[in-house]
């Protein structure tokens, strides 16, 4: 996914279809000069429906579609004929897309399965025909209900990347380099902060034709939960991962402190993230020796950890084993 083609947030004005009017028809035929009411109901207005599509990875196709308008329902007819339903408008989205209200922020639903359909905005109901209003004392009603108007609302669609493992770390920790070594992904790699500006996905091949998906999440900085740096824009992607792989460089001044800062940012954003399995990988092992490794090991947080080097591929096989065991 190139940076320009990855879109994980769109805001769309949705207008569902107006319901068709009921009919106020009175039955007439060559045998019946003054028949009773036989007006049919109006058709339902078109819904706006969100549909999961596993072939999609981004919301790019919706980026420039600012207005989505469904058709109105047809009017009712004589002989109790119901009007045609308005055509529904379908919005195909990647799996992991969350729909919410633009004004209140209320989450409506989340799409997690291919072909799953959820109504984002309901079409107006069709009006009742005059047949429904007849009674023993009122046998020829000459009126019918109008259709309900459709709704016009601003909605937000947000994509949360679905991956088995999420790479968490500060900018320039070596996440992109690691992803490029353990998978076929080719993320942009550079020796400066925020090289990665969009989530990158890589499929890691394991034994016996098995595999799992790793997501390189753009670097977190202190204060990210308040919107600093790339802020909330990418923290939400971590919610979809089963295992969190924290990556901290071996030449960092205080690995435990960096880990605690990262953990705090996740907790402030969503406390439930702390319930996920966590593994710590100390990268750039080629920059230290065994004596320094022993010293660092004494001061690490109490979670599974491993020293790795993406440059020399040191312990990358063992890292895959750790991730696979955590996932299974």
CATH value at residue 246 = 3.40.50.300
Residue 31 has a pLDDT of 87
Which residue among 128, 159, 190 closes a domain?
159
Q: Domain check: are 217 and 230 in the same one? A: yes
Strand partners, 287: none
The whole-number average pLDDT for the span 124-143 is 94
- For residue 231, is it left (φ>0), alpha (ψ between -120 and 50) or beta? left
288 — pLDDT class (breaks 50, 70, 90): confident
Which residue among 102, 127, 159 closes a domain?
159
Q: Domain check: are 294 and 180 in the same one? A: yes
User: Quick check: 171 pLDDT over 50?
Assistant: yes
- Between these two residues, 157 and 294, which has the higher pLDDT value? 157
User: Quick check: 85 pLDDT over 60?
Assistant: yes
CA dist., res. 147 & res. 248, Å (int): 61
- Between these two residues, 152 and 261, which has the higher pLDDT value? 152
Domain that holds residue 22: 1-159
Q: Domain check: are 147 and 182 in the same one? A: no
Q: Domain check: are 178 and 314 in the same one? A: yes
Q: Domain check: are 130 and 266 in the same one? A: no
Residue 302 has a pLDDT of 86
158 — pLDDT class (breaks 50, 70, 90): very high
CA dist., res. 285 & res. 312, Å (int): 9
Please tell me the total count of domains within the chain: 2
User: Quick check: 191 pLDDT over 80?
Assistant: no
Residue 226 has a pLDDT of 53
Beta strands 200-205 and 211-216: pairing type? antiparallel
Beta strands 305-307 and 241-249: pairing type? unpaired
Q: How remote is the C-alpha of 207 from its chain's centroid?
A: 30
The whole-number average pLDDT for the span 17-43 is 93
CA dist., res. 38 & res. 23, Å (int): 8
User: Quick check: 250 pLDDT over 90?
Assistant: no
């Amino acid at each position: 996914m190139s940076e320009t083609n990855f879109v994980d947030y769109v805001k769309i004005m949705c207008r569902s279809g107006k319901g068709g009017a009921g009919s106020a028809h009175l039955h007439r035929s060559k045998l019946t000069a003054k028949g009773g009411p036989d007006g049919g109901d109006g058709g339902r207005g078109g819904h706006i429906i969100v549909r999961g599509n596993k072939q999609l990875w981004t919301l790019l196709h919706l980026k420039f579609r600012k207005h989505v308008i469904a058709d109105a329902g047809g009017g009712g007819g004589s002989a109790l004929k119901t009007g045609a339903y308005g055509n529904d408008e379908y919005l195909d989205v990647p799996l992991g897309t969350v729909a919410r209200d633009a004004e209140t922020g209320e989450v409506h639903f989340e799409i997690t399965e291919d072909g799953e359909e959820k109504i984002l905005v309901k079409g107006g109901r069709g009006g009742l025909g005059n047949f429904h209003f007849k009674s023993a004392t009122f046998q020829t009603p000459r009126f019918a209900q109008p259709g309900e108007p459709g709704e016009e609302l601003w909605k937000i669609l947000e994509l949360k990347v679905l991956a088995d493992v999420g790479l968490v770390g500060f900018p320039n920790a070596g996440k992109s380099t690691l992803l490029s070594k353990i998978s076929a992904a080719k993320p942009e790699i550079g020796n400066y902060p925020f090289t990665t500006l969009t989530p990158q996905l890589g499929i890691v091949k394991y034994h016996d034709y098995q595999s799992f998906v790793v997501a390189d999440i753009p670097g977190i900085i202190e204060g990210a939960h308040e919107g600093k740096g790339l802020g909330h824009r990418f923290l939400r992607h971590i919610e979809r991962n089963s295992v969190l792989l924290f990556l901290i460089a071996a030449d960092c001044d205080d690995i435990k402190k960096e880990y605690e800062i990262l953990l705090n940012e996740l907790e402030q954003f969503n406390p439930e993230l702390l319930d996920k399995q966590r593994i710590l990988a100390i990268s750039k092992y080629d920059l230290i020796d065994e004596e320094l490794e022993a010293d660092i090991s004494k001061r690490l947080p109490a979670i599974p950890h491993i020293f790795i080097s993406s440059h020399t591929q040191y312990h990358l096989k063992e890292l895959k084993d750790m991730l696979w065991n955590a996932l299974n």
